[in-house]
Amino acid sequence: MTADASAIPPLPAFDGRAVINGHRTAAIDGQTFDCISPVDGRVLTSVSRCGQADVDHAVATARAAFDSRRWSGMAPAARKRIMIKFADQILAHADELALTETLDMGKPIQYAKGVDVNSAANCIRWYGEAVDKVYDEIAPTPRTGLALITREPVGVVGIIVPWNYPMIMAAWKIAPALAAGNSVVLKPSEKSPLTALRLAELALAAGIPPGVFNVVPGYGPEAGSPLALHMDVDCIAFTGSTRVGKQIHVMAGQSNLKRAWTELGGKSPNIVFADCPNLDKAVAAAVGSIFFNQGESCNAPSRLFVEESIKDAFLEKALAMVPKFQPANPLDKSTVMGAIVDKVQMDNVLRYIGLGESEGATLVAGGKQALTETGGCYVQPTIFDGVTNHMTIAREEIFGPVLSVLSFTDTASVVEQANASIYGLQAGVWTSDINKAHGVARALRAGTVHVNQYDEDDITVPFGGFKQSGVGRDKSLHAFDKYTEVKTTWIRIDSPV
Ligand code: NAD
């Protein structure tokens, strides 16, 4: 199968201009950049190349909206109703958003619609519904005092997101930030800016007041840094690489000590013991999770540790699944593996595959670019056997469809190897022994440990990492912690009784 360009349905009329103060806005200096589809290399539209002046404009707008209390001062139940309408708007435009996402970043259309659009809408609805059900506190003070512990929106929230799940990553941050009453300036990735711009328009259509939710597309150093360094941004919430995440914390410190929250990279270990309750399920999860979204998932279980006694049987079953994941036209509804986001990322993935071979791992599946005739960016599903933990492909995040298989013989050493990473985002454990499951899950230094499954998920649970996988948590009620300040109001009670 090829990514046949003639199969592309009529395209939506893309508008790549920023959304500031409720209006579509060209960059102040008129600069644009091309938005190129990794499906077939076509230019989708030109996008505002925002810089310092545009960020200043958006932040001033967000500040004015916040101070006006049009949104921040609204009763939580009123904000809830608008957030729910916002989620409804997303679902009403599901086909358009899914097509845009697929063309912009290359993921299969069935997941763009079934996963990305639905998850983004669900997230926005969930935080909307939550916000009028969260109570504040009264402290157990002496009787002479009444101490109210209340939560207030932090103010202007800057948000910077990556390209792998453009709508979901944006929703995980804008939903709790907006529901809590903040104003937002969002900078989407330059590799996938289009759906974020549409989200801002759909928010306006739902009734979120102009200026409350602004989107400034552009490059990281040109539009992202001014946001992270801005003296009038109260909080910066970032998802992306650990390299840039570290810079975000520095920029927060260099400027106004804004609250900085970072969701960063991962190199997640997935440990399959010989007493795994269902080998077929473990294989399907290991293979399906690393190849889902072309491997461009921060929580992908990219280091697979299989107990030596079942390794050959496991690998045989894994290899039998590989043909199902051959890349194909992302616009075809049956496709399960689409295009890598751009040529830079594709070349990076191929470079890591070359490193795996040169450092002595055994390539047992894939390893090559695919569908070159399409003009798009595709890589075969790739599996390396005989990987050791010190190899580059076991240490560094590849962010592509590349699985490293390692074997082990004892529990203590596999836990030690699993934890021997700068990252600590997620991990998996497969065993029928409940004691081993709990013991290993406790010993693993990761924000989420999956037991006898991988990748099951829900908006109700926190998402984030230990170590250099970042600071803070997205999703669940815990996310409100990032976008609210805790205030104590101590009232003296001089009571005659
Ligand atoms: P990236 O760090 O290159 O870019 C992320 C965002 O930061 C983009 O919008 C980019 O324009 C911006 N940026 C880049 N340089 C900047 C700078 N100097 N100042 C301010 N902003 C800047 O990451 P990416 O390649 O877009 O995304 C892939 C990374 O994201 C992977 O490491 C992946 O693990 C991580 N990720 C993490 C999670 C999570 O929840 N932990 C989720 C998704 C992706």
Amino acid found at 221? P
Q: Whose CA is nearest to atom 14 of ligand 1?
A: 220
Any ligand 1 atom below 6 A from CB of 193: no
Q: Which of 55, 105, 160, 167 to mutate for ligand 1's pocket (most ligand atoms within 8 Å of CB)?
A: 160
Ligand 1 centroid to Cα of residue 265, in Å, is 9
471 C-alpha to ligand 1 centroid (Å): 14
| Residues 174 and 186: beta-carbon distance below 8 Å | yes
Whether 169 lines ligand 1, by a CB cut-off of 6 Å, is: yes
CB of 266 within 6 A of ligand 1: the answer is yes
For ligand 1, whether the C-beta of 31 sits within 6 Å is: no
- Separation of 161 CA from ligand 1 center, angstroms? 6
Closest protein CA for atom 12 of ligand 1: 220
Whether the CB of 99 sits within 6 Å of ligand 1? no
User: Taking a C-beta distance cutoff of 8 angstroms, is the pair 197, 215 a contact?
Assistant: yes
- Sheet of 145-153: strand order equals 137-138, 145-153, 484-492
160 lines ligand 1 (CB under 6 A): yes
Name the DSSP class of 10: P
Pocket of ligand 1 contains residue 466 by CB under 6 Å = no
Q: Which residue lies with its CA nearest to atom 20 of ligand 1? A: 224
- CB of 380 closer than 6 angstroms to any ligand 1 atom: no
Q: Which residues are catalytic?
A: 263, 298
Q: How many angstroms separate the CA atoms of 271 and 252, rounded?
A: 37
| CB-ligand 1 contact for 207 (6 Å cutoff) | no
Residue nearest to atom 19 of ligand 1 (CA): 225
Q: Quote the CA–CA distance of 308 and 311 in Å, as a whole number.
A: 5
Establish how many alpha carbons lie within 13 A of residue 342's alpha carbon, considering only the half-sphere containing its beta carbon. 13
Helical H runs in 69-207?
76-92, 94-105, 109-111, 118-131, 166-179, 194-206
CA 163 / ligand 1 centre spacing (Å):
8
Ligand 1 atom with least separation from CA of 298: 34
Atom of ligand 1 lying closest to residue 162 CA: 26
Distance 242 CA to ligand 1 centre (A): 8
Q: Cα–chain-centroid distance for residue 289?
A: 15
Q: Residue 390 corresponds to which tokens in the numbers above?
A: 């010190």
What number does the ligand 1 atom closest to the CA of 228 have?
A: 20
- The dihedral over CA atoms of 139, 140, 143, 148, expressed in degrees to the nearest 10, equals 10
Instruction: Give the residue, by CA position, lying nearest to ligand 1 atom 39.
Output: 263
300 lines ligand 1 (CB under 6 A): no
Q: Which residue has the tokens 């933990």?
A: 389
What is the sign, positive or negative, of the torsion defined by CA atoms of 26, 28, 32, 35? negative
Neighbours of 254 (CB within 10 A): 11
What contacts 121, CB < 8 A, 6 or more positions away? 87, 88, 90, 91, 94, 171
In the numeric block, the tokens 């909080």 are attached to: 235
Q: 188 CA distance to ligand 1 centroid (A)?
A: 10
Q: Give, for ligand 1, the residue of 241, 296, 448, 461 to mutate: max count of ligand atoms closer than 8 Å to Cβ.
A: 241
CA distance 25 to 130: 33
DSSP characters over 275-314: T-S-HHHHHHHHHHHHHGGGG--TT---EEEEEHHHHHHH
Cβ of residue 252 lying under 6 Å from some atom of ligand 1:
no
Q: What is the pLDDT of residue 10?
A: 74
Question: What pLDDT score does 271 carry?
Answer: 98
Secondary structure E strands in 136-189: 137-138, 145-153, 156-160, 183-187
Residue 325 main-chain phi, psi, to 5 deg: -105, 15
Give the alpha-carbon dihedral of 233, 234, 237, 238, to 10 degrees: 40
pLDDT at 239: 98
DSSP tally for the chain: helices H, then strands E: 15, 24
Question: What atom in ligand 1 is closest to the CA of residue 163?
Answer: 26
Low-confidence ranges of the chain (pLDDT < 70): 1-8
> Can you tell me which residue has the tokens 């070159």?
372
